[in-house]
Amino acid sequence: MTSYLCAIGTANPPHRIPQPQIATFMAGALQLDEAATRKLHALYRVSGIGHRYTVLPDYGRANGDYEFFPNTPGLEPFPSVGQRMAQYRQHALPLSVQAAQACLRQLPEVRTDTITHLVTVSCTGMYAPGLDIELVAALGLNPNVQRTCVNFMGCYAAVNALKLADAFCRADANARVLLVCTELCTLHFQKSQEDDHLVSNALFGDGSAAALVQGRPAQQGNSLALEAFHCGLEPDGQQDMAWHINNFGFEMTLSSYVPRLIQRGIRRLTEQLLANLPVHLADVKAFAIHPGGRKILETIEEALELSTHDNRYAYQVLRDYGNMSSATVLFVLQELLRNLTPADTGAPVLSFAFGPGLTLEAMLLKVVSAMPASQYAAENQQVAEEALSV
């Protein structure tokens, strides 16, 4: 049995801040001298990012008047984990609801009380009772909905959520899975001049993405059949991409060796994914690659002999949003879905995401056209009756 990714909805916080403006904030917060400030602005210019979204307006206020950070030289006392988690709890739910509603609006035939599973994903905040329980009430889901939380896996976690959704649908033809990835990365700014922290401060933004997966294509528009998954590890990269909870937020390690490690493993990962499938890399014309950074996209293009045009959706998301950790690959898939035409029906789609470990996740999807309305109505009625009888 095949499962289908039928709709994706996204949401971002209200504060959309240009990359040069964030660089100015960072230079002031780090109390950099003139030479270091010039180098920092150069780093931000070559990042491939135009704007990022954040729940904290402070990043657009280089001259103080901050709401979250202290209005003191050096931002001391620097906010604690507890203060950052309070912000996460305040902002994660409304942003998640916005993304989920944007997803479900695309599927008017799907009633919220027929959703059988809820999968929440985040590596930037945790609390209990958590976001999953709050979403049940906020979205009007059935209280008996089966909930699963995917926490602290980093940028590749959306692929694991899709694997879960696929497994649920393969086990039960009437399963209907809503997954919600919400990341507030900008809560974890680290006041450090180490290269890893300078790079991560230059890349990450806030966003939420929700997707609906079920055992049949959507009634209208295109869906993506989840054809195959494959996970690879590059153990040499365990120290090069990492995510740790420390006293002043969650600390990201992102070394300059990561693109090289991904380049080394990406072709082998692709070959292993496609080994037992009737698809070759040369057959794939559509790609949805997690834009971990501009250099990562460029090294993948080199390794797989792709063009910048092949990677256009990843570059677009990187430019407009930055890296939003787990939500990002769903933003890329959303852009791909928006640009599909009837001629794309049946086309394979190759998607990658990367994270701590160094973990490399790959999935193969296939473009599927809408199910005929009469067939969908009959199957949808069966799903509703079985959900209400539970």
> Annotated active-site positions, please?
155
For residue 358, cis peptide bond before it (omega within 30 degrees of 0): yes
CA gap 217, 7 in Å, rounded: 10
Distance spanning both ends of the chain, measured CA to CA: 23
- Secondary structure element (H or E) that encloses residue 227, with its range: strand 223-233
CA angle 290-295-301, nearest 5°? 70
351 forms bridges with which residues in the sheet?
288, 363
**DSSP annotation string for 317-368:** HHHHH-B-GGGHHHHHHHHHHHT--GGGTT-EEEEEEEETTTEEEEEEEEEE
Q: Which amino acid is at 296?
A: I
Q: In the block, which residue shows the tokens 């729940």?
A: 55
Distances (CA, A) of 368 to 15, 62, 153, 161, 342: 36, 48, 30, 21, 9
Nearest of 319, 345, 344 to residue 331 by alpha carbon: 319
